[in-house]
Amino acid sequence: MIRRTPVHSAVPISADAAAAMVHSGMSIDYGVALSQPDVFDAALARRVPQLTGLTLRSCLSLRPRAVVEADPMGARVLNLSWHFSGWDRQKGDSGLCHHAPLHLGEVPDYYRRFIDPMDMVIIKTCPVDAAGYFNFGPTNAWHRAVIERARLVIVEVTQGLPYVFGEANGVHCSEVDYVIAGDDAPTVELKNPAAGEVDRAVAQRIVNEVEDGACLQIGIGGMPNAVCTSLLDSGVRDLGIHTEMMVDGLIDLYQAGRITGARKQLDPGKVTFTFAVGSQRLYDAIDRNGDMLCCPVDYTNAPHIIMRNDKVISINNTTQIDLQGQAASESDGRRHISGTGGQLQFVRGAYESKGGKSFICLASTYEKKGVRKSRIVLDLTPGNIVTTPRSDVMYVVTEYGMVNLKGKSVPERVVALISLAHPDFREGLERQAHANRMLPRSGRLSAT
């Protein structure tokens, strides 16, 4: 660890003065999601024409980053992202954003062991509290690990963030070099799309597997959130939450009294997460709420910690799965879409949990240029990244059914997965499987 001594204790400074401290060749960390700075970002963008060789690290940008927009040719700023948002993906398509592969729960260790100390870390926080801490708000992630080794620490304070309780969810003023006054703009909202018929069908199949006292991890998207809606209509009680991302659907369950955490072995009675993104209603619900516990990501996402709760239910999306069970959830060929995130870590943690279950869910088809295509395929699209290996996949769910791949041979997997495909594609998939010697000559196997 680099032992830093602040210039003073959190000296107030203008955004332009802070940006003037940036020199060519420096590395800068903007933090994660709602913690990314805005006033400093605009100030630094004005300096970009004078600079070269900047490296910018961030994750899940929820607003366009001005410093990247100021370098439309990508000649001055190397923009690296741990997980793509829609804007990051757009920049990735233009060669202006590059993904860093990861397990999200390992990132604190990357900063402590493998990444050179950042020249500057600039994170948006709540104003300093009575104890002298700048609260990270709804985004803990790996901010502590970056700050521990950064050469210069700056916070951009705003009234716009909710104040969220949690383990190490803040930085003391004695560790901060400079403080910038933010714009106090409302927290960015990210609303989930409305659930469709397919989402609801998949959700109901999963809900049938959820028992009283289960501990939930819900990923992003309409389909996982549809599970929360279905749970509201079910009789399931005493649910717990230990998740990476806090989303609106989980708040619905919490406010309906379905989330008590009473049966959790780890953090009983608490809603445990590492970052929250959603509607203003979510931010209001977690603000100064003693039931909430916003923790570092190496706590929320580590399989050996996840497994300490019983009946862990892990629910995540994928975009394509092959007939052997490889789930590709983060790319479309070589085009990067999102990231591994915590999917594989929660799949593994749920499996190791007593009574735990992991679900990989997907719609059976999608449309591309007006042509309907199957998401269940013989071979993954060339270049597609495997997020969850076939050896880790447990339950797979589409609108046509649910199968458990654990313990199944390749022929058994083939039959099981074909049964989840849209009926229009099943015969073709079976022919392909026979042609590639994935099915026995002796006859068809049962899908169960």
Could you list the active site residues?
Answer: 244
Residues β-bridged to residue 32: 59
CA dihedral (408, 414, 415, 420) positive or negative: positive
- Cα–Cα distance, 317 to 338 (Å, whole number): 12
Strands 357-361, 395-398: pairing kind: parallel
Would you state the structure tokens that stand for residue 14, as one six-digit string? 């203008």
DSSP line for 308-341: TSSSEEEEEE-SEEETT--EE-SEETTEE-S--T
Pick left, alpha or beta for residue 205 (phi over 0 → left; psi -120 to 50 → alpha; otherwise beta): alpha
Judged by DSSP in three states, 92 sits in helix
Structure tokens at 169: 């969810």
What is the distance between the alpha carbons of residues 96 and 115, in angstroms, rounded to a whole number?
21
Name the residue among 126, 163, 118, 165 with its Cα closest to residue 145.
118
Measured distance CA(386)–CA(7) in Å, rounded: 46
Rounded distance between C-alpha atoms, residue 218 and residue 225, angstroms: 7
Q: What is the DSSP letter of 375?
A: S
Cβ pair 319, 222 in contact under 8 A:
no
